Chains A and B, each alone.
Chain A
Amino acid sequence: MSTSASFRRRLWPYVVAVVAVAVSLFPIFWILTIALKSRMDAFAMPPVWFFSPVWENFGRAWSAQGFSGAFFNSLIVCAIGNVLALAAGIPAAYYLNKRHVPGRRTILILLLISYMLPEFLFIVPMYVLFQSIGLYDTVIGLALIYQVFTLPFTIWLLRAFFADIPEALAEAARLEGAGTLRIVWTIYVPIAAPGIAATVILNSIKMWNELTIALALTFEKAQTVTLAVAGFRGYASIDWGAMSAASIIIILPMALFAILAQRRIVQGLSLGAVK
């Protein structure tokens, strides 16, 4: 009797985990089945559970006008966005950890507020500004405007990671003759590398999935994947098969990224949790 009780107790976590995984993965599973079904099977009622997969939706999605271009645009926006965020965020995070920065708290609160502002707030003024300075419909422009959320997030996160690095390390390096730039580059960045990796991944996911700003500030040349997927919705009809296939394609890079870097993310997010 007691064995069955303890078995039941050990079973519960698995039940909860399986349900949670099923609920969160079901939409992806559903999209995947639509992407792999022929048009006939896709909307058959009741749903067809056993079907022979077709791959033509993926080919149609990739060769659809603008889709592959949008895919690479998104990659470039993420790359530039991360470089910009780290280039400004690393020094900012380093200095905002110092005791003697006047207005440190105010700066941090302002950063937090700017992170929390809804994105569409920026759209109207930025639309006008981007048009006039030639950043409208450019990947650089998008990477720049994405800094309104990536930069505060980067600074806040890196600041926490940097705070776990004892100040004595910087002091020891300083006594050996290292300047601030070298201290940040040779001490802080390598030690906080898991944290930086986690930041890059989280920023990438956010930029990759962004729709509102991209919708307003790009038109054709700099369209991103989220817009390209929406593009499968025509005036008269929606190509569900291609749209689903496109959705699966755009999930892949981030999923791959997350799987490869999973250990780093976990390591990064728990950095300093255990001394």
Chain B
Amino acid sequence: MSAVSLQGIDISYGSVDVVRNLDLDIKSGEFVVFVGPSGCGKSTTLRLIAGLEEGRSGEISIGGRVVNEIDPAKRDVAMVFQNYALFPHMSVADNISFGMRLRGEAKEKIAASVADVARMVGLQDHLHKRPGALSGGQRQRVALARAIVRKPAVFLFDEPLSNLDAEFRAAMRYELSRLHRELGSTMIYVTHDQVEAMTMGDRIAVLAPLKQAGRSNLMQFGTPEEVYHRPANLFVAKFIGSPPMNLFEVRMENGEVRLGSVSLRIGGSIPAALTVGIRPEHVLINVGEGPSIDATVEGMENLGHEKLWFLATGIGRVVARTQDNVQHITGEKVSLRFPGERLHLFDSATGERMPEDSLVRGKG
């Protein structure tokens, strides 16, 4: 078990900056997920920790030891690659034991370790096969076994489940979480899939491409609850959650902002332009009393366990999520209510979240 710390990391490819000013402190034994869209530098940062990529500046330490100049093999990390990176000409057993054989460990010890790990990931009946004879899920297990057998201080996962079909992915998500509990190792997991991020991470680091990010790629580093319920900025608010948060640009008038027929009182220092956000599941349709926003039902997607409603309003399109038993018809007039405690306020200019006390009380 080892903590991983990144301080002031800059990475560029030629003249193009990919990562800038990245500071991250990952606790020992923590499962941290790097999530973000393509080009946000999440894989690059992971590869930097592994030693497969070189940064322009900054300090990387693993277990309190600065590893910038240390060979990848000696950093005490194991990596699972997106395309598994199995050696196609070697049996499963040889793939798993590749590193041990390289280090010249005793045959009996290798055989025992391989058998142990194979049992752990359910590969005991496939040890003699070549990777080509295995399914995608089994291949991923081989890659996992090859990492586990090293007993590394830190596991690095580079989108390990993205090549699997949905059914396998859910099962592997669960297994990886179980593995983390069993081994207690520090794990860093890169994905663009927010479901993986939300379900697996102790903490999530949301990264943005530099073009959208500004000073640093790191948009927010927090627990899944924090990232979902208190997004630090508009980028996180838009990126986490599916369908994404409803966002409305509003203007201040006499210390109040108007959201359709609803007015909100704002305290503290107020920027000229604000963005108000609400998650689809917090939008109430024909529920509650008081000021409401008139809307017309434009369409619905039935996901089985829930329904997504697409609603046209004077302030723009609103998406609402309800239970499966709610019924409306297309073209129906409804009234929407946004509970004040569920609203998110952002400074439109900087994209930053406003302090929690700025919303005095939504009258709606």
Where the two chains meet, the residues of A that have a C-beta atom closer than 8 Å to any C-beta of B are 166, 168-169, 171-178, 182, 187, 190-191
Contact partner of B52 among A174, A176, A177, CB < 8 A?
Answer: A174
B88 adjacent to A175 (CB under 8 Å): no
Asked whether B263 is an interface residue with its Cβ less than 8 Å from the other chain, the reply is no
B102 adjacent to A187 (CB under 8 Å): no
A176 adjacent to B83 (CB under 8 Å): no
Contacts of A191 in B (CB 8 A): 87-89
Interface size grouping (class) on chain B: 20 to 34
B102 adjacent to A182 (CB under 8 Å): yes
A175 adjacent to B102 (CB under 8 Å): no
Q: List 20 A-B contacts (CB under 8 A).
A: A168-B83, A169-B87, A171-B85, A172-B79, A172-B81, A172-B87, A174-B52, A174-B72, A175-B50, A175-B51, A175-B72, A175-B77, A175-B79, A176-B98, A176-B102, A177-B73, A177-B74, A182-B102, A190-B89, A191-B87
Asked whether B190 is an interface residue with its Cβ less than 8 Å from the other chain, the reply is no
Contacts of B78 in A (CB 8 A): 175
B99 adjacent to A168 (CB under 8 Å): no
B88 adjacent to A176 (CB under 8 Å): no
Instruction: Kindly report which residue of chain A lies nearest to residue B152, judged by CB atoms.
Output: A175
Instruction: Kindly report which residue of chain A lies nearest to residue B52, judged by CB atoms.
Output: A171
B85 adjacent to A177 (CB under 8 Å): no
**Which 4 pairs across A and B sit closest by C-beta, in order of nearness?**
A176-B99, A177-B73, A168-B85, A172-B85
A169 adjacent to B99 (CB under 8 Å): no
Contacts of A171 in B (CB 8 A): 50, 52, 79, 81, 85
Contacts of A172 in B (CB 8 A): 79, 81, 85, 87, 146
With both chains docked as a complex, state the minimum distance between the C-beta of B219 and any C-beta of chain A, in angstroms: 28
Instruction: Kindly report which residue of chain B lies nearest to residue A178, judged by CB atoms.
Output: B102
With both chains docked as a complex, state the minimum distance between the C-beta of A199 and any C-beta of chain B, in angstroms: 18
Instruction: Kindly report which residue of chain A lies nearest to residue B75, judged by CB atoms.
Output: A175
Which residues of B (213-232) have their CB < 8 Å from a CB of A? none
Contacts of A173 in B (CB 8 A): 87, 98
B50, B85, B103: residue with the most chain A Cβ atoms closer than 10 Å: B85
Contacts of A190 in B (CB 8 A): 89
B42-73 interface mask toward A, CB cutoff 8 Å, 1 = contact, 0 = none? 00000000111000000000000000000011
Instruction: Kindly report which residue of chain A lies nearest to residue B77, judged by CB atoms.
Output: A175
B89 adjacent to A166 (CB under 8 Å): no
- Complex Cα spacing A188 to B98, Å: 15
Where the two chains meet, the residues of B that have a C-beta atom closer than 8 Å to any C-beta of A are 50-52, 72-74, 77-79, 81-83, 85-89, 98-99, 102-103, 146, 150
Contacts of A174 in B (CB 8 A): 52, 72-73
With both chains docked as a complex, state the minimum distance between the C-beta of A264 and any C-beta of chain B, in angstroms: 15
Contacts of A178 in B (CB 8 A): 73, 102
Instruction: Kindly report which residue of chain B lies nearest to residue A182, judged by CB atoms.
Output: B102
- Complex Cα spacing A174 to B73, Å: 6
- Complex Cα spacing A191 to B86, Å: 12
- Complex Cα spacing A101 to B79, Å: 26
- Complex Cα spacing A168 to B131, Å: 15
- Complex Cα spacing A178 to B90, Å: 16
Known A168-B83, A182-B102; judge A175-B73 contact (CB<8 A): yes
With both chains docked as a complex, state the minimum distance between the C-beta of B161 and any C-beta of chain A, in angstroms: 16
- Complex Cα spacing A175 to B81, Å: 12
Extra pairs beyond A169-B85, A174-B52, A174-B73 (17, CB < 8 Å): A166-B83, A168-B85, A171-B50, A171-B79, A171-B81, A171-B85, A172-B79, A172-B85, A173-B98, A175-B52, A175-B72, A175-B73, A175-B79, A178-B102, A182-B102, A190-B89, A191-B87
With both chains docked as a complex, state the minimum distance between the C-beta of A130 and any C-beta of chain B, in angstroms: 41
A177 adjacent to B103 (CB under 8 Å): yes
With both chains docked as a complex, state the minimum distance between the C-beta of B115 and any C-beta of chain A, in angstroms: 19
Contacts of A166 in B (CB 8 A): 83, 85
With both chains docked as a complex, state the minimum distance between the C-beta of B95 and any C-beta of chain A, in angstroms: 9
A168 adjacent to B98 (CB under 8 Å): no
- Complex Cα spacing A106 to B302, Å: 59
- Complex Cα spacing A140 to B337, Å: 90
A171, A172, A182: residue with the most chain B Cβ atoms closer than 10 Å: A172
With both chains docked as a complex, state the minimum distance between the C-beta of B83 and any C-beta of chain A, in angstroms: 6
- Complex Cα spacing A172 to B82, Å: 11
Contacts of A182 in B (CB 8 A): 102
- Complex Cα spacing A174 to B53, Å: 12
Contacts of A175 in B (CB 8 A): 50-52, 72-73, 77-79
Contacts of A176 in B (CB 8 A): 73, 98-99, 102, 150
Contacts of A177 in B (CB 8 A): 73-74, 99, 102-103
With both chains docked as a complex, state the minimum distance between the C-beta of A260 and any C-beta of chain B, in angstroms: 21
Contacts of B85 in A (CB 8 A): 166, 168-169, 171-172
Instruction: Kindly report which residue of chain A lies nearest to residue B78, judged by CB atoms.
Output: A175
- Complex Cα spacing A185 to B85, Å: 17
Contacts of A187 in B (CB 8 A): 87
With both chains docked as a complex, state the minimum distance between the C-beta of B229 and any C-beta of chain A, in angstroms: 37
- Complex Cα spacing A168 to B89, Å: 15
- Complex Cα spacing A187 to B88, Å: 9
With both chains docked as a complex, state the minimum distance between the C-beta of B89 and any C-beta of chain A, in angstroms: 5
